[in-house]
Amino acid sequence: MQKRGRFYSGERGRRIKIITAFIALLILVAIAAIPPVLPLDSGGGSDITEANPSLAGVWINKTDTPFKSGHGEAVVGTDDYIYVARCWSNISASLFYRYNPDNDSWAEITGLQKGAFRTGTALAWDHKNYIYAMLGARYEEDTDRRFFYRYNISNDTWDPPLNNTPYPQGAGDAITWCNYDNHRYIYAMMGKSTENYGGIHYGYLARYDPDSDKWENLTFNPNWSCTDDGASLVWTGGNYLYALQGEVGEYKNKPHKPITNFSRYNISNNSNGTWEDMRPVPEIEGVGDGGSLLWIGNWLNEYSDYIFALGGGSGVEGEAPGYNFYAYNISNNSWENLTSIPCPIGEWVGNRLGFANGHIYYWQGAPAKPPEKWICGGDAFFMFDIDTAPTGSITVTSSPSGAGISFDGTPINAITPYTITDVEPGYHTIELSLDSYEDWSTSVPVTAGETSYVNATLTIPPPEAMIVINEIEANPPGKDAGNEWVELYNPASEDVDLTSWTLKTTHGRIGKVTCSGIIDANGYRVFESSIQWLDNEGDSVILRDKGGAKIDEVAFTDTKNDDRTWQRCPNGIDTDSYLDWEFRPSTKEYSNKCS
């Protein structure tokens, strides 16, 4: 078995015979004749929020399935898990496994009899609590097999059988959920059940109502005789189902015409719905075993205009490996080749794509031999990691550090220095805030793949008003507690609100007084404490405004236990000098008498 690496991208070269090349030329001519743009499926749930989301990506190897492929197999995804059904034959165990993306592990689910899953097995999740299953049918032996089941996710059990499908199942089975007009249905195509190569077969379309456990027959595509290997069906959130016809007309062991038919069904007219042929899949050798469709717009709205697809194994040479992975643009009616799958699919029918936990997954589900043809062992399992738009980063520093950061108007749980990552290219606003400093902001350009740098120098705001500490009584006669005070003076011509301003000492027992009230223009206001808060020697008192900005600071020593106080002389003068101060008789709440 060829060893698999972890990351895969690019296309693999494959031998195409002359007859295939000629057929491909005819297909391209036919494709070119089709109008490039058709009406967008505008039903509920299909709003497009991003014109060109990324379709590039790499395949990442995950844990292989704990079993090999088989005749009856299918894949389906839910919000959190991927489920895979597989059965080798009508007498082998019916394997049903759940993959957990969080820990990259598989868990087995039991409860079905042996041989339940057969050719044409198809699964669909109802986006609630159930996975519905068409159990398929063997060629020739099961000419009228119609079993229809469902798995109860919350109970982790298979429910009793539901009402059988209205027509026999087979290799061309396909199934999808639909919530059009807020009514949940399961739509199903029933494919051929015989291996009469080149014979006449019939295809059917019906829908199942879970509320009534009844089927309703619908109009099958009048341009198709039936569906076959590689058939697939998907709802895209609005008025339409999209369908692959599959490998109709296969002749055993002989080259045959490649079938790339792709159509959509308008469900808005109920049982009278109409079919419309769309641009064929650009699969050179035709859609084959493992052909798959997947719509993820209900999970990722930016991809509402796309259907992802696998082309399956060769529909020309018969059971040849297939590597092609596509995206179909609904509004433009166009196909785009994406990163090829690293391990080929083919040989066995059944959908291989699923979506869970934010990613697309695929299961190889192919034979293990011969190893030079079916590389990877047939049980490989991969996740498609879509490349997101390239981003940049912003490194924010400040002096002083520790400033809170807001990014484009929203605070983030970080302080400077800090690097903001995964920033979209363009201009962004950075805002910084730090107590006692003015708020700061700037607009910074960001380039994809690069780091932008922001270095802010924060500044202390100017005082709200030039209030000064004008007189201090630190050592009054008798008891200090309750008799110490600080006088403020407002030399300005306007009143000042002192609410939430503070006076705080710096020595010994640290005292703090919260100010309040209005200090009049050219007026005085005294603040006291019921406890001792001013030391007699080597102390200072600091005045701060409500924003924490320092307004004034005065150092003092008062060892005389008398009625003299430490005063500014002349009254209110402030030259930031010790010479501004003298000891004089108290003038509490009045102008200092310095003459």
Amino acid code (one letter) for 331 = S
Whether the pLDDT of residue 4 is over 50: the answer is no
Band of residue 95 on the pLDDT scale cut at 50, 70, 90:
very high
State the Cα torsion 286-383-14-378 to the nearest 10°: -90
What is the structure's pLDDT at 299? 92
Confidence of residue 51 (pLDDT cuts 50, 70, 90): very low
Please, what is the end-to-end C-alpha distance for the chain in angstroms? 106
Per-domain boundaries in the chain: 7-386, 392-457, 468-585
pTM: 0.62
Among all chains, which residue has been given the structure tokens 């592990």?
Answer: 105
Cα–Cα dist 580/574, whole Å: 7
pLDDT in tens, 103-159: 999 999 999 999 999 999 999 999 999 999 999 998 878 889 999 999 999 999 999
Determine the Cα–Cα distance for residues 502 and 295; give it in Å rounded to an integer. 64
Q: In this structure, what token pair is assigned to residue 503?
A: 């006076």
DSSP classification of residue 578: G
**What per-residue confidence (pLDDT) applies to 7?**
39
Give me the amino acid identity at 173. D
Pick the CATH number of 392-457 from 2.60.40.1120, 2.40.30.170, 1.10.357.10, 3.30.450.20: 2.60.40.1120
The reported pLDDT for the residue numbered 227 is 93
Percent of the chain whose pLDDT exceeds 70: 86
Per-residue pLDDT tens over the stretch 547-579: 888 899 999 999 988 999 999 998 888 888 888
Report the pLDDT value the prediction gives residue 273, as an integer from 0 to 100: 85
Quick check: 585 pLDDT over 80? yes
Residue 1 has a pLDDT of 33
Cis peptide before 570 (omega within 30 of 0): yes
- Cα–chain center distance at 156: 27
Q: How far is CA 443 from the centre of its chain?
A: 27
What single string gives the DSSP state of each residue in 44-87?
TT-----SS----EEEEEEPPPSS---SEEEEEE-SS-EEEEEE
Q: What is the pLDDT of residues 274-288, one digit of tens each?
A: 999 999 999 988 999
pLDDT at 464: 55
| Contacts of range 25-32, beta carbons closer than 8 Å, 24 or more positions apart | 27/258, 27/260, 27/280, 27/282, 27/284, 30/280, 31/279, 31/280, 31/282
pLDDT at position 575:
85
The answer to whether the CB of 38 falls within 8 A of the CB of 101 is no
What would the pLDDT profile of 170-203 be if each residue is shown by its tens digit?
999 999 999 998 899 999 999 875 555 444 457 8
DSSP H or E stretch at residue 95: strand 95-100
Work out the average pLDDT over 487-504. Answer: 92
> Taking Cα atoms as reference points, which of 353, 300, 365, 324 lies closest to residue 117?
365
Residue 22 has pLDDT above 70, yes or no: no
CA–CA dist 147, 165 (Å, integer): 7
pLDDT of 6 above 70: no
The neighbouring-strand residues paired with 489 are 468, 524
Lookup: tokens for 309: 């697809």
For 312: left if phi > 0, alpha if psi spans -120 to 50, otherwise beta; the answer is: left
CA 173, chain centre distance (Å)? 32
CB 551 within 8 A of CB 567: no
Query: Residue 430 has what pLDDT?
Result: 96
The CATH superfamily label for domain 7-386 reads Kelch-type beta propeller (2.120.10.80)
How deeply is 132 buried, as exposed, middle or buried, from its count of CB atoms within 10 A (0-12, 13-18, 19+)? buried
pLDDT tens digits for 432-482? 999 878 899 999 999 888 999 999 999 887 655 589 999 999 999 989 889
Q: Is 21 exposed, middle or buried (0-12, 13-18, 19+ CB in 10 A)?
A: exposed
* Mean pLDDT of all residues belonging to the chain: 86
Determine how β-strand 451-457 pairs with β-strand 392-399. Answer: parallel
Q: If you average pLDDT over residues 297-312, what whole number do you get?
A: 94
Q: Kindly report the CATH class assigned to 468-585.
A: mainly beta
State residue 195's pLDDT score: 53
Q: What is the pLDDT of residues 325-342, one digit of tens each?
A: 999 999 999 999 999 999
User: According to the model, what pLDDT value does residue 462 have?
Assistant: 63
| Identical topology for domains 392-457 and 468-585 | yes
Task: Read off the DSSP letter of residue 36.
Answer: S
Bridge partners, 570 (sequence order): none
